[in-house]
C-alpha cells in the first residue's frame, strides 16, 4: 500500500515526539517521502498531542486527512480520532486500552512483555510500526542507535532490545498487507530530515551566520537550539538575551562590529523588536530576523499556527526604511531563503525577515542533502582596512555605502540612531535629512530587482487562480492538483518572497485568470490586501483559515468547489 498516514497520539511526556521523529527518519533512510504535522497543547505533561506522518513513494504536498494507522497511547487518542480513521485501518494500542467501536481493527500490544521499562514503550512501539510497514530492521535499528548510542552504551542496548522485541512481536501477527512498496534505500547521508527550524538554522550556518541572540518563544526557539547544538564547531556565539529588546539590539551591536547575526522570535517578541529593527534601518546595519508565526493577538494560541503576522513584518519599526521579507513554503525553501535573507541584509545593510510559522516549524520532510560546494556565495562583512578619511554613510547611486568595521584599520566607524550626516553625526538639517531618506530608499530599488518571482503552476489563463504565500503552498497545490485531475482549470501562484514586490513579475497572471482566490491562514486576507496596494488588482474571493490549524486540501476543496462552479457556469453563459 502506498500513501499511508500514521498518527501517533497520546499525552505530552510519553515520548511521542521522539518516537515520531525516529520513525520519520527510518522512513527517510529507507527512501520514502514523508510529511509530518504535529498538534500539541500548550502544556508539558498530559493533554492530547499527535505526531502524524504521511508517507508515500512519490513527493507529498500536504498533510493527509484520513488516518490509516493510529498508534494510540491513551484512551482519549482512540476516542478522538474515531472519525478520521480510513475504512481500512489499524489501531496499535496497549492491552489496557480498547475501542467502543467493534468494527475497529485493534492490535493490542503487550508492552510490559516487550520491555520491562515504561519509558521504552515508545521504542517498542517504534519497532512494531517498522514491522507493520515492512521497513528493513537494520534501518530502524540504525536510527535508534544513532539517537541513543552516543550517550550511553547500556542505554542504547536497552533501546535496541525494545525495538527488536516490538518488531519481532508484530511480524508474527500481522500479514504484509501494510507494507510500503519496496524502494531501494538511498545512499547513506544523501537525504536529510528537516522542518523549518532545522532548515533555517542550516541555511544560516551555510550563509556564515556566527551570532544568534534570542529570547525563547514557541515556535521560534528551535532555530537558536539548532545553532547552539553546533556553536563551537561553527564558531557561532549563541546568547539567550534578557528580553527581545536586548536580543535585537545585541544583534545590531554584533553586526556593527562584524558578526553575521540572526534573531529568531515569534509575533509577540517581534512586536517588541520593532524599535530595534528601525534602528537597524537607520544605522544601516545588516540583521536577519526569523519571525515564526503563531496565532495572535497577544499570546493567542501559543502552540498553533497562523499566517497573520505578514503586516507586522511589513510595517514593523517606525519611520521609513528598506527591508526584504521572505516567506518560504517548504523546509528546502527555508534553507535557501534564509541564505538569501542573510545575503541581502549584508549587501543592502538593512534588516531582512524570514517568515515561517508553527506548521512549517513542525513539519518534517525529506530533503536532498544540500550540495554545499555549489551554492552561490553569500556576502560577508568587509574586513579590509579603510583609510582615515572614511565616512560611514557616503551617498552613492545605489544607496549602499562602503561599510568599514571598527578596529580593522585607521577608519573610525560612526553610527547613529538620530538622522545623521554622511560622517554619521547628528544633524537637524532639512537638506541632509532629505538626502539621507532618499539614499536609504534607493536601496529598496536594488532589493526589488533581486526579488524572486512567484512560482506559477497550472494552465495559461486558468478559470481559477489560487494565490498563496509561505507555508500554505503544499495544501494549495494539492487542492489544485485534485481539481485539475477532475478536469478543472486551476492554477496556483505561490510567493516565497513577499517584500519588495515587483508587479511586472505577476500582474498578468492575475489579470488573465477568470477568478483569483486568496488562500491564507489569517482572517484579514493580508496578502490579498498587499497585492491590491501594490497593483490595484482586487482579489475577488478568499479562503481563509484562522482556527489555529494548518490549511489542508480537505479544508480548501469544499470552499473552493462552489467558487469554481460559479466561475465555470459564468463561462458557459
Partner 1 sequence: MVTSSDFGQFETAWCPGCGNHAILKAVKEALAGMDKQPRDVCLVSGIGQAAKTPHYMLCNLFNGLHGRALPVATGIKLANPGLDVIAESGDGCMYGEGGNHFLAAVRRNINLTLLVHNNQIYGLTKGQASPTTATGQTTKAQPHGAYSAPFAPLSTALSLGAGFVARGFSGMTEHLVSLIQTAVRHPGFALVDILQPCVSFNKVNTHSWYKERCTELDDSHDAGDWEAAMRLSMQWGETIPVGILYQNTDRGPFEGHFPQLEPGPLADNSPSLTTLESIMQTYA
Residues 10-39 that bind partner 1 (CB under 8 A): 29
Stretch near partner 1 under the rule CB under 8 A, chosen from 169-177, 376-384, 489-497, 545-553? 376-384
Identify the residue among 2, 116, 138, 243 touching partner 1 (CB under 8 A).
243
Is residue 384 close enough to count as binding partner 1 by CB under 8 A? no
Decide whether 260 or 515 has the Cβ nearer to partner 1: 260
Is residue 459 close enough to count as binding partner 1 by CB under 8 A? no
Is residue 151 close enough to count as binding partner 1 by CB under 8 A? no
- Burial tier of 308 (Cβ tally within 10 Å: 0-12, 13-18, 19+): buried
Identify the residue among 19, 53, 69, 193 touching partner 1 (CB under 8 A).
193
Q: Shortest approach of partner 1 to residue 462 CB, angstroms?
A: 37
- φ, ψ of residue 498 to 5 degrees: the values are -110, -5
CB 311 within 8 A of CB 270: no
Identify the residue among 42, 157, 190, 429 touching partner 1 (CB under 8 A).
190
Identify the residue among 59, 181, 319, 406 touching partner 1 (CB under 8 A).
406
Q: Which one, of 380, 287, 420, lies nearest residue 341 by Cα?
A: 287
Is residue 198 close enough to count as binding partner 1 by CB under 8 A? yes
- Burial tier of 113 (Cβ tally within 10 Å: 0-12, 13-18, 19+): exposed
Strand pairing report for 4-12 and 46-56:
antiparallel
CB 419 within 8 A of CB 432: yes
- φ, ψ of residue 509 to 5 degrees: the values are -55, -40
Q: Shortest approach of partner 1 to residue 373 CB, angstroms?
A: 7
Q: Of residues 476-535, which lie at the interface with partner 1 (CB under 8 A)?
A: none
Stretch near partner 1 under the rule CB under 8 A, chosen from 159-167, 259-267, 481-489, 515-523? 259-267
Decide whether 346 or 521 has the Cβ nearer to partner 1: 346
Decide whether 135 or 513 has the Cβ nearer to partner 1: 135
Q: Shortest approach of partner 1 to residue 210 CB, angstroms?
A: 5
Stretch near partner 1 under the rule CB under 8 A, chosen from 174-182, 206-214, 319-327, 355-363? 206-214
Q: Of residues 209-238, which lie at the interface with partner 1 (CB under 8 A)?
A: 210-211, 213, 229-237
d(CA 249, CA 76): 46
**Residue 289 forms beta bridges with which residues?**
263, 353
Identify the residue among 87, 151, 373, 571 touching partner 1 (CB under 8 A).
373
3-state DSSP assignment of residue 180: coil
Alpha-carbon dihedral angle through residues 366, 372, 375, 378, given to the nearest 10 degrees: 110
3-state DSSP assignment of residue 376: coil
Identify the residue among 276, 328, 399, 548 touching partner 1 (CB under 8 A).
276
Is residue 328 close enough to count as binding partner 1 by CB under 8 A? no
Cell of 35: 510529511
* Angle (deg, nearest 10), helices 16-30 and 137-148: 130
Identify the residue among 44, 103, 372, 397 touching partner 1 (CB under 8 A).
372
Alpha helices in 134-152, H assignment, sequence order: 137-148
d(CA 406, CA 427): 22
d(CA 48, CA 335): 31
Cell of 346: 549584508
Is residue 571 close enough to count as binding partner 1 by CB under 8 A? no
Stretch near partner 1 under the rule CB under 8 A, chosen from 14-22, 355-363, 369-377, 505-513? 369-377
DSSP 549: S
Decide whether 261 or 322 has the Cβ nearer to partner 1: 261
Please state the separation of Cα 424 from the chain's center in Å: 38
Residues near 482 by beta carbon (within 8 Å), at least 6 away in sequence: 553, 557
Is residue 254 close enough to count as binding partner 1 by CB under 8 A? yes
Decide whether 35 or 254 has the Cβ nearer to partner 1: 254
Decide whether 30 or 307 has the Cβ nearer to partner 1: 30
d(CA 67, CA 19): 17
Identify the residue among 108, 253, 296, 300 touching partner 1 (CB under 8 A).
253
Identify the residue among 314, 415, 482, 510 touching partner 1 (CB under 8 A).
415
Stretch near partner 1 under the rule CB under 8 A, chosen from 46-54, 246-254, 290-298, 322-330? 246-254
Cell of 360: 512549517
Is residue 204 close enough to count as binding partner 1 by CB under 8 A? no
Amino acid at each position: 500500500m502506498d500513501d499511508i498516514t500514521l498518527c501517533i497520539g497520546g499525552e505530552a511526556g510519553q515520548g511521542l515526539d521522539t518516537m515520531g521523529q525516529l520513525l520519520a527518519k527510518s522512513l527517510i533512510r529507507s527512501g520514502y517521502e514523508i510529511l509530518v504535522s504535529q498538534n500539541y497543547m500548550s502544556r508539558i505533561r498530559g493533554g492530547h498531542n499527535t505526531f502524524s506522518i504521511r508517507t508515500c513513494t512519490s513527493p507529498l504536498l500536504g498533510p493527509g486527512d484520513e488516518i490509516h494507522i493510529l498508534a494510540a497511547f491513551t484512551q482519549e487518542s482512540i476516542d478522538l480520532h474515531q472519525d478520521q480513521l480510513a475504512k481500512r485501518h489499524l489501531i496499535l494500542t496497549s492491552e489496557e486500552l480498547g475501542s467502543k467501536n467493534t468494527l475497529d481493527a485493534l492490535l493490542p500490544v503487550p508492552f510490559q512483555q516487550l520491555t520491562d521499562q515504561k519509558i521504552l514503550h515508545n521504542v517498542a512501539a517504534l519497532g512494531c510500526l517498522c514491522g507493520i510497514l515492512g521497513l528493513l530492521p537494520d534501518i530502524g535499528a540504525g536510527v535508534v542507535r544513532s539517537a541513543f548510542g552516543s550517550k550511553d552504551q547500556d542505554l542504547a542496548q536497552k533501546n535496541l532490545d525494545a525495538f527488536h522485541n516490538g518488531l519481532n512481536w508484530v511480524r508474527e501477527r500481522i500479514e504484509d498487507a501494510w507494507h510500503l512498496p519496496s524502494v531501494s534505500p538511498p545512499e547513506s547521508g544523501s537525504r536529510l530530515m528537516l522542518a523549518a527550524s532545522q532548515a533555517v538554522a542550516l541555511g544560516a550556518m551555510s550563509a556564515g551566520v556566527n551570532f544568534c541572540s534570542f529570547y525563547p518563544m514557541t515556535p521560534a526557539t528551535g532555530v537558536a537550539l539548532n545553532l547552539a547544538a553546533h556553536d563551537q564547531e561553527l564558531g557561532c556565539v549563541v546568547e539567550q538575551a534578557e528580553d527581545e529588546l536586548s536580543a535585537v539590539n545585541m544583534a545590531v551591536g554584533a553586526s556593527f562590529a562584524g558578526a553575521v547575526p540572526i534573531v529568531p522570535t515569534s509575533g509577540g517578541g517581534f512586536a517588541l523588536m520593532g524599535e530595534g529593527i528601525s534602528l537597524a534601518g537607520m544605522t544601516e546595519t545588516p540583521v536577519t530576523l526569523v519571525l515564526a508565526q503563531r496565532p495572535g493577538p497577544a499570546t493567542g494560541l501559543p502552540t498553533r499556527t497562523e499566517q497573520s503576522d505578514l503586516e507586522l513584518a511589513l510595517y514593523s519599526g517606525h519611520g521609513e526604511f528598506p527591508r526584504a521579507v521572505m516567506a518560504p513554503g517548504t523546509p528546502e525553501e527555508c534553507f535557501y531563503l534564509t541564505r538569501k535573507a542573510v545575503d541581502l541584509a549584508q549587501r543592502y545593510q538593512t534588516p531582512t525577515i524570514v517568515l515561517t510559522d508553527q506548521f512549517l516549524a513542525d513539519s518534517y520532510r525529506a530533503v536532498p542533502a544540500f550540495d554545499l560546494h555549489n551554492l552561490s556565495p553569500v556576502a560577508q562583512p568587509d574586513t579590509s582596512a579603510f583609510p582615515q578619511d572614511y565616512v560611514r554613510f557616503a551617498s552613492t547611486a545605489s544607496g549602499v555605502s562602503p561599510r568599514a568595521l571598527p578596529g580593522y584599520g585607521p577608519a573610525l566607524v560612526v553610527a547613529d540612531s538620530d538622522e545623521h550626516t554622511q560622517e554619521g553625526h547628528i544633524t537637524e538639517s532639512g537638506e541632509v535629512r532629505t538626502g539621507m531618506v532618499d539614499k536609504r530608499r534607493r536601496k529598496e530599488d536594488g532589493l526589488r530587482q533581486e526579488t524572486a518571482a512567484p512560482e506559477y503552476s497550472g494552465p495559461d489563463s486558468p478559470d481559477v487562480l489560487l494565490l498563496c504565500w509561505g507555508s500554505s503552498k503544499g495544501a494549495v497545490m494539492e487542492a489544485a492538483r485534485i481539481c485539475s485531475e477532475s478536469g478543472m482549470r486551476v492554477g496556483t501562484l505561490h510567493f516565497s518572497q513577499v517584500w519588495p514586490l515587483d508587479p511586472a513579475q505577476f500582474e498578468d497572471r492575475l489579470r488573465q485568470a477568470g477568478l483569483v482566490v486568496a488562500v491564507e491562514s489569517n482572517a484579514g486576507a493580508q496578502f490579498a490586501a498587499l497585492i491590491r496596494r501594490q497593483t490595484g488588482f482586487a482579489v475577488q474571493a478568499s479562503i481563509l483559515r484562522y482556527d489555529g490549524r494548518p490549511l489542508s486540501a480537505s479544508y480548501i476543496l469544499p470552499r473552493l468547489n462552489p467558487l469554481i462552479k460559479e466561475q465555470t457556469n459564468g463561462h458557459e453563459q
